[in-house]
Structure 1
Amino acid sequence: MKKLYFFFLLFLSLALGAQNTVGLLSYQPTKTFAGYNLIYPHNQPNVYLIDNCGEVVHVWEDEPNWRPGNTAYLLDDGRLVKTKRQASVAGNPIWAGGGGAIVEIRSWDNELLWSFERNDENNRLHHDIAITPQGTILMIAWEKKTMEEAMAAGRSPFLLSNGELWPDYVLEVDPVTDEIIWEWHVWDHLVQDIDPDMGNYGVVGERPERVNVNWDTSDGAADWMHTNAIDYDPLNDQIVLSVPTFHEFWIIDHSTSTAQAASSNGGLSGRGGDLMYRWGNPAAYQQGTEADQQLFYQHDVHWVDDLLPVTHPYYGKIALFNNQVGADFSTANVLSPVYDMYDGNFPMTGNTWGPSEFDVVLQHPIPTQLYSTGLSSVQFLPNGNALIIDGRHGYAFELSPDNEVVWEYLVPLAGGQPATQGDILEVNNNLTFRMTRYPLDYAAFTDRDLSSQGWIEQSPDSTFCDFILPTNELMADYQLEIYPNPTNDQLTIEWEGGMMIELRLLDLLGRTVYQSKESGGRCYLSAKDWHSGMYIVQINGVSVSKVVVR
């Protein structure tokens, strides 16, 4: 019997001591924001909603010939707004990374409700969209300019290696009427200092509201701006664009008409479609040097507002993922542009816009474990945590204000196919543009079936959450928190202050390994000498939770 028990403990120790390699990697339920996570991984067609245990609770499937284009958003009525493109892009007149083609609205049950396409010889949707409170959709698109057109706008012929240029524009579409109701084109807001006989000639450093047509970081590639994010601020009627090849984000006035947006007059700002604000790299408008650059091929620039109370400390500020800030690490950042709502403009500090530094810089506790040269996102959660995904590695984690990783998930796909638990995935094998967590009480989930539909990965670790989630409603009755779980050092148990409890820990054979009477609302147990395995926590004789010791 002793020999059998020894081998049982050895097996359990090896099983629990082994780290998952895909899917859910770690989870501290009492420190994590409860919700469902929306992902739309590359190299496959489906949008997934997964719970914090990594189980699929809903999926919007599509035909295998489709790919993300690149984002998807879940509306509070349960509709999904998604972008997509054909998997094969051979022969497409306009194609670069992040290319899209179609925007769709689908019901919760995946019924196609509306579709809009722009992908022809002169235009192509790409990267991101933003849905306004009125239900209109802002889209980013490339528009092709020939070499002759580009040179006529002052572009140097030495910066036209593809013989053409694809500047970006924004179009706003109303799904109710199928009409394009507003447009803004960067092509209307250029400055150049090469040819004084052209109408857009000027001193670049004196025209920060204009875009230097000869700023280039891509060796003259046609995909000049590569705008990878768009967001909308309904309070001030503004649009923010992330322009990674400029290492900047720009804010433009949406209160204009389309005609005003093509000019330098009109709108609440009085600037028309000229830039109201730009930040990240003043060298792009000849007002700084390399030492002044603060953004490095950033992604996911957005106003911090969705799903958060206005009391959140970052509400209304700008958040972003700073991809290439270091040679081997990335950061997530928050900053506070100063806006004068009475004047309708962002005041400048000298010849540039402030602030001079970030409000917040977040890194992984092991900085090199967060490094993605592209893609990626950050979302601030109502409990004060941040949800960050490293898009190149499909690695998502939730970070507490104390810089503790309290949840980790690795998108379990290899080249678009389900990976197997135990696989080691290489960089770019499970590309994921963003992850968004929606709270449990999000209106879209009302009266929906969110029961488990299994896992994305093959051979999933189906018992992982069983070890760490509460097993009894007394957890709530006692306001009980047990953390960290799994643990390998110290286990903290907290409960409603002033209540006396009888605490017991049992192994899986039902043997008591610890017993005491506790008061004061908190106790600390050293787990250093405990065998690796699972233990049952009992409060006043009732089993309330399971704890994994590694």
Structure 2
Amino acid sequence: MIQIHFNNKISVSIIAFIFSISTLISCSSSNEEGNEIETLPTQTNTVGLTRNDTGALNDGYVLFAPIGSTTTYLIDKCGKQVKTWPSTYKPGQSCYILNDGSLLRTGNANNTTFNAGGKGGVIEKIDWNGNVTWTYTLSDALKCQHHDIKALPNGNILVIAWESKTNTEAIAQGRNPNLVPATVWSEQIIEIKPTGTSGGTIVWEWHLWDHLVQDFNPTKPNYGTVASSSKLINLNHNASATNQDWIHLNSIDYNASLDQILVSSHSFNEVWIIDHSTTTAQAKSHSGGNSGSGGDLLYRWGNPSAYNTGTTTQLFGQHNAYWIESGFPFENQIMIFNNGNGRTGGNYSTIEIIKPPVNGYNYIQSFPYGPTATSWNYNYGNPNNVYAQNISGAQQLSNGNVLFCNGPAGVFTEINSSGDMVWQYVNPVATSRILKQNDVVAQNSVFRSTFYPKSYSGFSGRTLKATITLENVNPLAASCK
């Protein structure tokens, strides 16, 4: 039984072909984020294209950067290679095709101080011919780019980066001394204006450390009532004496019409919206910008316990929160891949769309923050046996379909608006080699997959020719059934 939920009620319930991408066999290997890799059962095709039905959106290409590889791939919907971009770095973690056809890619600089899942440290622009035209390094003992970046309409780049604080600094701000490791990793967002081939100017920045609240020690700064300070981040929420990666942002997006930034905090089980219209000085404060709130949170959703106003958690280790493109179904709403790791009632993944209660540049603040129900929800109750414990993402397509990436399994699946699978692809690029049909599928994790239509501006004037499949033997791809 495949079920799609609208407003948390089943409005479509159809008997259909039962499929599963997570009847998965555990393997002892580990991926970039240190979690178990999973393998698929043997079938007609074990890697590459495994399904392409009527209704799939075939007028375009899929971009992905396998976590264990230094190469980024563009394939058509028959699973055939169209383009590759080489790098000296494994991903760290996201990549995008820009309007000019360049690849904007993060790289893993192997920072030994920030040794956690999603670490990056290098940002590259690679042109259509494979030449690195710009490199920027953000990786040292005090900071490190990680997970995701976002290109802005003006050509600048938004970057999320860890920012190390000592335990002394954390305690001085009101962290419980019993819940603090040697260093605490805060977060920062910086906007870089690229210059030359390896430089950049930071033209705007936001630091989480400027927007704290704590109710532990009245003699320290930031003391207040957490429940009445929902625009601030509770310094002692999710605090641990062993976990340095306290916030763990894992995605960033930008809304040009609102001039706002959306981030996902894995550790807080929340998505946050921040005003970007501020100056850097205003971003340090609690006033200014279009919203009048400075750099405080304008909106948060997913876990009311993070600001002491409820106990019903909606998100569980989520990834890839982003605003859906204008003109698409559910335009301007937020799609989230809800991994479901630690979900009440059992671990399983859902794809959810929420409609934030925005009014102008601000958000209606009824507590806990709304909405109380999702606009659309795939796999609620786990009828399709989908579970991706980490990484992963989902994308709304123009025809109403959704493409999602089960990151640990390296599987890309397209479903229609009713939840029926219409296309599926298993990444054959493993850490040490290209897998062949009937090989054990392991170590083929992918952070995210992204669909680009053939009409995308980055392809204008380019020759895109499908060649062989990556695994080189694929009976389904030959006829593209």
For the superposition of Structure 1 and Structure 2, which TM-score range results when normalised by the shorter chain?
0.7 to 0.9
Q: Which amino acid aligns with 1:346?
A: Y
- Provide the C-alpha distance between the structure 1 equivalents of 2:347 and 2:368, rounded to a whole number of angstroms: 29
Residue in 1 that maps onto 2:63: 38
| Aligned counterpart for 2:83 among listed residues 51, 55, 58 | 58
| Aligned counterpart for 2:191 among listed residues 166, 172, 178 | 172
Cα distance change of structure 1 residues 423 and 217 upon mapping to structure 2, 3 Å threshold = farther
Contact kept in structure 1, 2:469 and 2:477, CA below 8 Å: no
| Aligned counterpart for 1:353 among listed residues 362, 369, 380 | 369
Contact kept in structure 2, 1:33 and 1:383, CA below 8 Å: no
- Provide the C-alpha distance between the structure 1 equivalents of 2:193 and 2:373, rounded to a whole number of angstroms: 38
- Provide the C-alpha distance between the structure 1 equivalents of 2:299 and 2:256, rounded to a whole number of angstroms: 17
Residue in 1 that maps onto 2:351: 332
| Aligned counterpart for 2:119 among listed residues 94, 99, 108 | 99
* Structure 1 residue 219 displacement after superposition: 5.5
Residue in 2 that maps onto 1:302: 322
Contact kept in structure 2, 1:159 and 1:216, CA below 8 Å: no
Residue in 1 that maps onto 2:249: 227
Q: Is 1:460 aligned with 2:473?
A: yes
Residue in 1 that maps onto 2:448: 434
Q: Which amino acid aligns with 1:77?
A: D
Q: Which has the higher contact order (CA 8 A, sep 6+)?
A: 2
Cα distance change of structure 1 residues 260 and 448 upon mapping to structure 2, 3 Å threshold = same
- Provide the C-alpha distance between the structure 2 equivalents of 1:139 and 1:311, rounded to a whole number of angstroms: 27
* Structure 1 residue 157 displacement after superposition: 1.7
TM-score of the pair, normalised by structure 1: 0.76
Residue in 2 that maps onto 1:536: none
Q: Is 1:83 aligned with 2:106?
A: yes
- Give ranges in structure 2 of 5+ residues lacking alignment: 1-41
Q: Which amino acid aligns with 1:131?
A: A
* Structure 1 residue 453 displacement after superposition: 3.6
Contact kept in structure 1, 2:52 and 2:424, CA below 8 Å: yes
Cα distance change of structure 1 residues 30 and 373 upon mapping to structure 2, 3 Å threshold = closer
| Aligned counterpart for 1:246 among listed residues 258, 265, 268 | 268
Residue in 2 that maps onto 1:410: 426
Q: How well do the aligned residues superpose, as a CA RMSD in angstroms? A: 1.9
Q: Is 1:141 aligned with 2:161?
A: yes
Contact kept in structure 2, 1:46 and 1:59, CA below 8 Å: yes
- Give ranges in structure 1 of 5+ residues lacking alignment: 1-16, 469-484, 486-550
- Provide the C-alpha distance between the structure 2 equivalents of 1:302 and 1:31, rounded to a whole number of angstroms: 22
Residue in 2 that maps onto 1:71: 94
Residue in 2 that maps onto 1:197: 219
Query: How many residues were matched structurally?
Result: 434
| Aligned counterpart for 1:156 among listed residues 176, 179, 189 | 176
- Would you tell me which structure has more helix in proportion to its own residues? 1
* Structure 1 residue 465 displacement after superposition: 3.2
- Provide the C-alpha distance between the structure 1 equivalents of 2:252 and 2:382, rounded to a whole number of angstroms: 30
* Structure 1 residue 94 displacement after superposition: 2.1
Q: Which amino acid aligns with 2:444?
A: N
What's the % identity of the aligned pairs? Answer: 39
Contact kept in structure 1, 2:63 and 2:450, CA below 8 Å: yes
Q: Could you say what secondary structure the match of 1:246 adopts?
A: coil
Q: Could you say what secondary structure the match of 2:281 adopts?
A: helix
- Provide the C-alpha distance between the structure 2 equivalents of 1:180 and 1:466, rounded to a whole number of angstroms: 48
Q: Which amino acid aligns with 2:461?
A: D
Cα distance change of structure 1 residues 366 and 242 upon mapping to structure 2, 3 Å threshold = closer
* Structure 1 residue 366 displacement after superposition: 7.2
Deviations 1:463-518 (A, max 9, x none): 423434xxxxxxxxxxxxxxxx5xxxxxxxxxxxxxxxxxxxxxxxxxxxxxxxxx
Residue in 1 that maps onto 2:463: 449
TM-score of the pair, normalised by structure 2: 0.87
Rg bigger for which structure?
A: 1
Deviations 1:441-467 (A, max 9, x none): 21222232222342322x521x42343
Stretches (4+) displaced over 6 A: none
